Amino acid sequence: MCGIIGYVGDKQAAPFLLAGLKRLEYRGYDSSGIGIVDARTKSFDVRKINGKIANLENLIHSQPLCESSTGISHTRWATHGAPTRINAHPHVDTRKNILVVHNGIIENYESLREKLQSRGHRFVSQTDTEVVAQLIGEYYHPSRSSAKPEDLLAAVRKAVKQLKGAFALGVIAADQPGVLVAARVGSPLIIGLGRGEQFIASDVPAIFQHTKKIIYLKDGQMALLTPQCVQVSSFDGHKVQPKVDTVNLQIDAVQKQGFAHFMLKEIHEQPQVLKQMFQSRVKHGAVVLSGIHLTDQQLKNIKRILIVACGTAYHAGMVGKYIIESLANVPVSVDVSSEFRYRNPIIHQNDLVIAISQSGETADTLAAVKEAKARGAKILAICNVVGSSLAREADAILYTHAGPEIGVASTKAYTAQLYMLYLLSLKLGMARKQLNPQLGRKLLKGLKHIPVLYAKILSEKGSIAHIARANSHFGSFLFLGRNINYPSALEGALKLKEISYIPAEGYAAGEMKHGPIALIDEYRAVVCIAPESDTYEKMISNIQEIRSRKGKVIAIATDGDTTIKRHAPHVIYIPQTEKLLTPLLVALPLQLVAYYISVKRGCDVDQPRNLAKSVTVE
Ligand code: M6R
């Protein structure tokens, strides 16, 4: 959601910024822009446009930017004001001295705007960001002959102290080529350290080809960047000695590698991701979760687990409830992060809060974590992105190490979260002596075998594609599952609606009779998740109820199930595994069904409309 990239150095800024914006496309956006400093005229040269980056590229091609080695750029995901050229970033102040890009939301922008207008500032956009440019502009007025980098830093410092909400900012001044100021509260921002050049960006993929040395700016910190150095300080003006991390991202991880879409590539990466998780987390038959920072005694003392997450990660959390309760005998509640925060949650001593997030930047989950911490909870994060805000906020972290997930629809991150929850449940169950050792061994064996089963499903993806295409004309879908696969139904529906825009609902199959059955007719496709399980017979009854009302059934069943063919015209088979592990296998055909329907309908699989990869505003 909104991407920032900025540059000061000795090279041309515009090509660098444009290439960086392309690497941030996956975050989700609806307009983009680039602004650079023209050192000759001490003014800005700006290009902005709505729609895809390709539009910006074409615009710059037809109206080339001047030469400059200082610039900022942005992909905007509209919050305040429509996705138009005027509302696109960067934004300039009335005197045209200050240029700003911003990620986040300025909550007090209306009152600031009124005050600034009364003092003569003229606003041209509907955005909250424009107040930031105007505010900094108000404080920035060095004489043109003696402008110093510190003047810009001081003006930004005065301005940020008045802002409420979340923001990552990149700021340049027309009379200061070679100077860039960054600031952050709540929204992610990193600084890349180069030789004779420095960068800012919303995340690593935008700049990792230029430097591996990264500073993760913390909340309440700002930085002054010049080609030679970076100075980090707090909003109060105290100098900070930042930690410099080395990132180890390979170019393959952010390229499609011959796949038609990132989503398809990421679906295919799952066997390898899970195999690596097993190899690094299971040693001599025992689960090793070094990042957990809890002794067996502390694990024994846990009285309750509260899981907070959003979207797909929330569905992983729901599966987590079933497995933790059944293997470790600890009560678990699962909340959508945005609800948890406002429901006055009760937290006792010995409660553990588990926050699940692929990006580690989801504003709702971060807010829930802060709320839980304020109430005295210990936070364990399950997260994919190393160094993310969640990773820093949590007391303990279990990284899934699934690699960058570029497709907006979460696939490998989801199954990696599930896999981690299985490992955690086994660890908890063993430490608390609640798990029958024989069952523990069987489940570990099953988990080890999952990557092989994934490879088998993927080798048969042609038949899944066929079923998906044959049903791609339906105007609405229902997904039904029971017990541990009820969350799978929710996830299947979410995946389909996200990337194909087909209205899709997930339901606990037992609930069908309590309402959704009214929707069933020949125009409704129903995906029935019916692997071998204790509720299999009940699913068959549901399928019959759907068929008697002419609903079109697509069943997901276990290899060798010949009965189901009599009831469902389309059956997708998954290999046999332990019943408790079936959500891991069911996830794969659900992802593929959504993918092939999206492709067939000509949708933008990797960057579906209105969606953002990391949702950094509440
Ligand atoms: O980065 P997070 O895991 O915290 O993201 C949570 C949701 O925004 C995310 O899972 C979203 O629902 C995905 N687009 C689902 O495919």
**Among 226, 249, 272, residue at a domain's last position:** 249
Q: For a pLDDT cut of 70, what percent of the chain falls above it?
A: 100
- Look at residues 186, 211, 185 and name the one whose alpha carbon lies nearest to residue 199: 211
My answer on whether 313 and 435 are in the same domain is yes
Please say if the pLDDT value at position 86 is more than 70: yes
My answer on whether 595 and 565 are in the same domain is yes
Report pLDDT for 169.
Answer: 98
My answer on whether 483 and 425 are in the same domain is no
Give the mean pLDDT of the chain. 95
Report pLDDT for 370.
Answer: 94
My answer on whether 308 and 271 are in the same domain is yes
Residues labelled catalytic:
2, 613
Report pLDDT for 1.
Answer: 76
Model pLDDT for residues 132-156, shown as the tens digit of each residue:
999 999 999 876 567 899 999 999 9
**For residues 375 and 373, what is the distance between their CA atoms, to the nearest angstrom?**
5
* pLDDT category of residue 242 using cuts at 50, 70 and 90: very high
Alpha carbon of 560 to ligand 1 centroid (Å): 34
Q: Is the pTM of this model over 0.85?
A: yes
Token look-up 């195999």 returns 275
Report pLDDT for 59.
Answer: 97
DSSP string across 458-486: HHTHHHHHHHHHHTTT-SEEEEEE-GGGH
Find how far residue 512's CA is from the centre of its chain.
Answer: 31
* Single-letter amino acid code for the residue at 6: G
Q: CB-side exposure of 445: number of CA atoms within 13 Å?
A: 9
Task: Output the six-digit token pair for 336.
Answer: 């959508």
Q: Measuring from each residue's beta carbon to the nearest atom of ligand 1, which residues come in under 6 Å?
A: 310-313, 357-359, 362, 365, 408-410, 494, 498, 611, 614-615
**Residue 427 sits in a domain of what CATH number?**
3.40.50.10490
* pLDDT category of residue 501 using cuts at 50, 70 and 90: very high
Report pLDDT for 248.
Answer: 83
My answer on whether 272 and 412 are in the same domain is yes
Range of the domain at 546: 460-605
**For residues 172 and 137, what is the distance between their CA atoms, to the nearest angstrom?**
11
My answer on whether 501 and 407 are in the same domain is no
User: What is the rounded average pLDDT of the residues 540-558?
Assistant: 96
Model pLDDT for residues 419-433, shown as the tens digit of each residue:
999 999 999 999 999
* Cα end-to-end distance, the chain, whole Å: 11
User: What is the rounded average pLDDT of the residues 332-349?
Assistant: 93
My answer on whether 532 and 425 are in the same domain is no
- Going by C-beta distance under 8 Å and a sequence separation of 6 or more, which residues neighbour residue 232? 191, 215, 217, 221, 222, 223, 239, 240, 241, 242
Residue 414 · residue 269 · CB < 8 Å: no
Residue 149 · residue 177 · CB < 8 Å: no
Kindly report the length of the chain. Answer: 618
My answer on whether 138 and 217 are in the same domain is yes
* Single-letter amino acid code for the residue at 378: K
**Residue 168 sits in a domain of what CATH number?**
3.60.20.10
Please say if the pLDDT value at position 319 is more than 70: yes
Please say if the pLDDT value at position 557 is more than 90: yes
In a domain, 615, yes or no: no
Sheet holding 304-309, edge to edge: 332-336, 304-309, 351-357, 378-383, 396-399
State the pairing for strand pair 552-558/524-530: parallel
Which residue among 359, 591, 613 is best mutated to probe the pocket of ligand 1, counting the most ligand atoms within 8 A of its Cβ?
359
User: What is the rounded average pLDDT of the residues 569-581?
Assistant: 97
Alpha carbon of 150 to ligand 1 centroid (Å): 39
**For residues 42 and 188, what is the distance between their CA atoms, to the nearest angstrom?**
30
Instruction: Write the residue with the smallest CA distance to atom 9 of ligand 1.
Output: 311
**For residues 270 and 336, what is the distance between their CA atoms, to the nearest angstrom?**
25
Query: For residue 237, is it left (φ>0), alpha (ψ between -120 and 50) or beta?
Result: left
My answer on whether 337 and 213 are in the same domain is no
Instruction: Write the residue with the smallest CA distance to atom 12 of ligand 1.
Output: 311
Beta strands in 345-446 (DSSP E): 351-357, 378-383, 396-399
In a domain, 610, yes or no: no
**Among 458, 487, 510, residue at a domain's last position:** 458
Q: Which atom of ligand 1 is nearest to the CA of 495?
A: 16
Find how far residue 327's CA is from the centre of its chain.
Answer: 29
**For residues 507 and 545, what is the distance between their CA atoms, to the nearest angstrom?**
15
Backbone angles phi, psi at 152, to 5 degrees: -65, -45
My answer on whether 437 and 474 are in the same domain is no
- DSSP, collapsed to helix, strand or coil, labels residue 505 as strand
Please say if the pLDDT value at position 499 is more than 70: yes
In a domain, 536, yes or no: yes
Which residue among 1, 382, 615, 618 is best mutated to probe the pocket of ligand 1, counting the most ligand atoms within 8 A of its Cβ?
615
Please say if the pLDDT value at position 52 is more than 80: yes
Structural domains of the chain, count: 3
Q: For a pLDDT cut of 90, what percent of the chain falls above it?
A: 89
In a domain, 315, yes or no: yes
Token look-up 């970076």 returns 230
**Among 195, 219, 249, residue at a domain's last position:** 249
User: What is the rounded average pLDDT of the residues 460-466?
Assistant: 97
In a domain, 614, yes or no: no
Alpha carbon of 408 to ligand 1 centroid (Å): 8
- Look at residues 412, 432, 6 and name the one whose alpha carbon lies nearest to residue 181: 6
Q: Which atom of ligand 1 is nearest to the CA of 385?
A: 1
- Going by C-beta distance under 8 Å and a sequence separation of 6 or more, which residues neighbour residue 529? 479, 480, 481, 482, 485, 488, 489, 492, 539, 555, 556, 586, 590
My answer on whether 274 and 148 are in the same domain is no
**For residues 227 and 555, what is the distance between their CA atoms, to the nearest angstrom?**
59
Residue 251 · residue 403 · CB < 8 Å: no
Alpha carbon of 184 to ligand 1 centroid (Å): 22
Report pLDDT for 143.
Answer: 67
User: What is the rounded average pLDDT of the residues 459-470?
Assistant: 97
